[in-house]
Structures are given as structure tokens and as C-alpha cells.
Chain A
Amino acid sequence: MHPEIDRFAHLDSLVHRWDPRWKLACLFLLMLSMGLERPGTRDHPSWEADLPPALGCLGLSIAIVLLARLPFAVVLTRLRGVAWFLGIVLVIFPLTYPGEKIVIGFVPVSSTGFLVALLMVLRAFSILLLAIPAFGTSRFDVTMKALWRLRFPAPLVQIILFTYRYVFVYWAQLRRMLIASRARGFHPRPDLRTLRVAGNGLGVLLVGSIERTQRIHGAMKCRGFFGTFRTLEEFRTRFADVALFSVILGAGVLLLLWRLL
């Protein structure tokens, strides 16, 4: 269990106890439905028709996060990077959107542009909020095995699991290389030499990773690997899994109908 990636996996809640396959299927479908927009919204968005369902989606996502008993402050911290980006969208769209504009101070602003941006931001936040209970309420490796059980391609699952296993090994190696270079008097500066040293370091990591890949493949072959992904992880469907799936997805379908019709 990784202390940062699997930080919330040990908590106890309805969402944590949910069979990961049903959880992933439900939350993925919900994310997909939230990504859809009413035809014509981009050109003629309406405060009355588009804003309440978008707020409803956000409310549903917040409800699921609360149901998972995830600490909301930490969840928001994880979304901080995206929030900056979405904040820029909220500024740029009203200023650049074509059509009728109102002047605030000296600045011409499009209220339609603001609404389009607001709807995008609400939709993005709703989807991103769902990603945290989807991936953070089971151990990462269990989530990946659940994806595989949902017919996600095995090579892709294995690549993600290898990345999860080795990204920290390479990160540690990079840090050791930085310490070693500093110990020998190297200080990064905005010059060509620093770029050359950084390039050499990345090259060493890349070549090392290719050799490591070959050694790992050898170790796998020695233990009988012949291209088939196997796991002992067993998933069992209970009535509660299907019930939770139906309730949450049902709410999602209602929201979708509200937005589209």
C-alpha cells in the first residue's frame, strides 16, 4: 500500500466496501454522462436550462465524495492544479467569446461566454471529483485488477502496475543523482552546461530503464510468465453493490435527462 496514492484506501465507508468493479463501472458511466452537453449549449447556453442541471451534477459528485467519507479539504487540495487552469478559462472565455458584450469598467465582457465557461468548469469539477472516490477508495493495485476484470486490456493494466511499482524507484534514483552531482560542486543554472548535465542524467536513466526492463522480463520468464496476466484477487458481487450502482447511476440518468430534454 503506497502511503500517498493509497492514502484514503484504508478508510471505511459504503463506497470503500463497494465491489471495485461495480464502483468503477458506475462512476465511469457517471463521468461519461456528465461530460455530455445539451445540443446547442455551446452556441446558445441558457441560465435557466443549463445551469441548474450542471449544479445538480456537482451536487451529486460532492454527495458521493461525502458518502466515501473522504476529507473534503484534502480532496480540494488535490484539485488545486486543475482549479488554476479552470480559473483561467473563467477569465479568458468572457473576454474573447463572440457576440453581445456588456462593459464592466473599461472591459467588454460576454455574459454568454461567462456562462459557457462556468458550465465547463462545473462539468470538469463534477467529473474530477468523481475520479477521487473511483480511484482512491480501494488500493491502487486492486483497482487495476478490477479494471482487468472489467475487460480492460491486460497489457495496459500491467503497464500501469509496472509504472506504479517503478516510478518511485526512478524518482529515488533521480534524487540520488542530483545529490551526487551537488556533492561534486554542481549547481543548476540557466545555462547550456546545466542542460547538458540534465540531458546526460536523463539519458542514464533511460538506458538504465531499458536494461532494467530486460532484467525484469527475465525474472518474469524464470517464474513461468508466458504472456498471461494472473491474479488471486477475487471479487464477489453482493446485493448492496448492485443496489448502490442502481441508485447512483439512476440519479445520473435523471440528471442527464434533465440536461438533455
Chain B
Amino acid sequence: MTAAVSVSHLSYTYPDGRNAVTDVTFTVEKGEAVGVIGPNGAGKTTLFLLVTGLLSPEHGEITVCGKSYTERDDREVRRHLGFVPHETEDQLFSATLFDDVAFGPLNFGVPREAVRARVEEALRKVGLSGYEERVPHHLSSGERRRAALATVLSYEPDVLVLDEPSNDLDPRGRTELVRFLRATHQGRIVASCDLEFILRTCDRVLVMDSGRVIAGGTTIDILCNRSLLDAHGLEVPLGLRGRTSDQLRELLEAEG
């Protein structure tokens, strides 16, 4: 079976000579949720820019649902990925929220009569029904975060690539996002420093530091490895400290 995202020996150096990503290899299966954690400057965002084809790697290969980026037309690859960047103001560039959410489906050739329904459905999923005519600038930061997610849900990509998705969300918005991500059938790659959020939304975790993948494993195993986290500038959330892997598993199962 073809992996949703396959990254092989990926490396990238910025023009100023800084190695942002070095020899990174991983795969994300269809429907799987993979977290990418690491301190600031670890290379998480650069990795996402490479996966989405916004940066071209020096070495290595990326395939998305079996397709590679070519110079001619990257749309065939990108239609499988729903990238929501960290800075939501850049994702919401249209004059109204409706236009922003309709932008992807219109470009990816979704029939015009279906686009309106897709937009309404995407806004409903993120709890922003009735916001269609709002100017994105007038949304609160939490609303903008949810609206940014709606802009990619509307074209139904196979994999969501989310950079710090829980930033700016209040506790209720965060819980709703967790609930949505756990229910969706789409694959997910989530970069976050919010380890509790990662625990509740991801099956597997990659730990990155200085552009390299330092460790990988199930989320529970990684989050219980305190020495690993300490060594790479990460911290187990207070509420999870002192719990064993089995206790964490029970906690997640109790949450449903």
C-alpha cells in the first residue's frame, strides 16, 4: 500500500549556510497521525515547507500519495496535502472568509455547484457557520486559527499538515480541535510544542532537534521518556508527570 507521505533522506540548507534539515526520513500511512516535536529552531517548520513543496530539498525525495513534485505542475501533489501554517494571517488572504475557504476547491477543480456546500461544511466543522461574509482581519486569533483549518478542509486533502495548530486557541477551542482531529479519517502531521495536545491527537511522534530526527516511537513511549525530552529542550506537561505508559494509555482510553 502506498504511504500517504514518504520522506527519504531529506536535507536542506538555507542560503545563509544554516542546516535546517539534515537526513530526515519518515513515512506517514493513510489515516495515521504523526506528531513532530522539538524545541524552537529544531527544523519543524522548514520540514513542513519541504513536504509541501514550498522549498526544494538539496538532497532526498518526497512522495505524497505516490506522487513526486515536478517543476511543471505541483497541483497534483498539493491537492493531497492540507497545509495550515503557523501564521494564520497569511493563510487568510481573501476579502471574505467565504472566498478564503472556497479558494482551494475552486483551484483544484471541484465543480462550482459543489463548492458552496463544501465551504459551508468546512465552516460548520470548525464552528464558524454564519461567518461567511466576515473580513478575516476582524476575526479573533482563535477564530482565525479555526478559519485557517477550514480553508484546507474544504478541498478534502488526504493529509493535514498542521504547524502549531493549538496556538491562540482557548481551552474550549483546543478541546474541539482535539475532538475533530481524533475523529477525522485524514492523515495528519502535526508540529507542536504543546505535548499534551500531541498526546491527545497523535499516534506516533518524531523528536527533532538541530534539523535531525533524534527519536521516533509511539506518543506515549516518547512522552514517558523524560531524559529524552529533557535533553532536547522539551518538558512533560505537569498533569502527565509521574505517570507510567499504562496510566497514560488508560487516561486516553477514558477520554475516548
Q: Which of A18-26, A51-59, A71-79, A214-222 contacts B (4 or more CB under 8 A)?
A: A214-222
Contact indicator per residue, chain B 64-83, by CB within 8 Å of chain A (1) or not (0): 00000000011100110101
Is A224 within 8 A of B107, CB to CB?
yes
- Is B106's beta carbon under 8 Å from chain A? yes
Known contacts A165-B135, A165-B136; decide if A141 and B96 are in contact (CB<8 Å). Answer: yes
- Is B226's beta carbon under 8 Å from chain A? no
- Is B99's beta carbon under 8 Å from chain A? yes
A67 CB to closest chain B CB (Å) equals: 25
Contact indicator per residue, chain A 219-235, by CB within 8 Å of chain B (1) or not (0): 11111111010111000
Is A1 within 8 A of B133, CB to CB?
yes
Is B99 within 8 A of A219, CB to CB?
no
* Residue of B54, B85, B90, B93 ringed by the most chain A CB atoms within 10 A: B93
Within 8 A of A (CB), among B126-178: 133-138, 151-152, 155
Is A232 within 8 A of B75, CB to CB?
no
Is A231 within 8 A of B99, CB to CB?
yes
Chain A facing B: main interface SS: helix
Is A165 within 8 A of B93, CB to CB?
yes
What B residues does A168 contact at CB under 8 A? 135, 137
The number of residues on chain B lying at the interface, defined by a beta carbon within 8 Å of a beta carbon of chain A, is: 40
- Is B6's beta carbon under 8 Å from chain A? no
Within 8 A of A (CB), among B46-104: 49, 52-54, 73-75, 78-79, 81, 83, 85, 87, 89-91, 93-96, 98-99, 102-104
Contact indicator per residue, chain B 94-128, by CB within 8 Å of chain A (1) or not (0): 11101100111011100010011000000000000
Residue pairs across A and B with CB atoms within 8 Å: the count is 91
Measured CA separation A126–B78 after assembly (Å): 51
The number of residues on chain A lying at the interface, defined by a beta carbon within 8 Å of a beta carbon of chain B, is: 30
- Residue of A144, A162, A169, A232 near B106 (CB, 8 A) is A232
What A residues does B135 contact at CB under 8 A? 1-2, 165, 168
What B residues does A218 contact at CB under 8 A? 49, 52, 54, 85, 90
Is B91 within 8 A of A165, CB to CB?
no
* Interface pairs (15), CB distance under 8 Å: A1-B133, A161-B94, A161-B95, A169-B89, A215-B85, A216-B90, A218-B54, A218-B90, A219-B85, A219-B90, A221-B74, A224-B79, A225-B103, A231-B99, A232-B115
Q: Which are the 7 A-B pairs with shortest beta-carbon distances? A: A224-B107, A141-B95, A223-B104, A215-B90, A230-B106, A218-B54, A224-B108
Q: A169-B137, A224-B107 are in contact. List 16 more A-B contacts (CB 8 A).
A: A1-B96, A165-B95, A165-B135, A215-B87, A216-B90, A216-B93, A220-B93, A222-B52, A222-B54, A222-B78, A222-B83, A223-B151, A224-B79, A226-B75, A232-B98, A232-B112
Chain A contact residues, CB within 8 Å of chain B:
1-2, 139-141, 144, 161-162, 164-166, 168-169, 172, 212, 215-216, 218-226, 228, 230-232
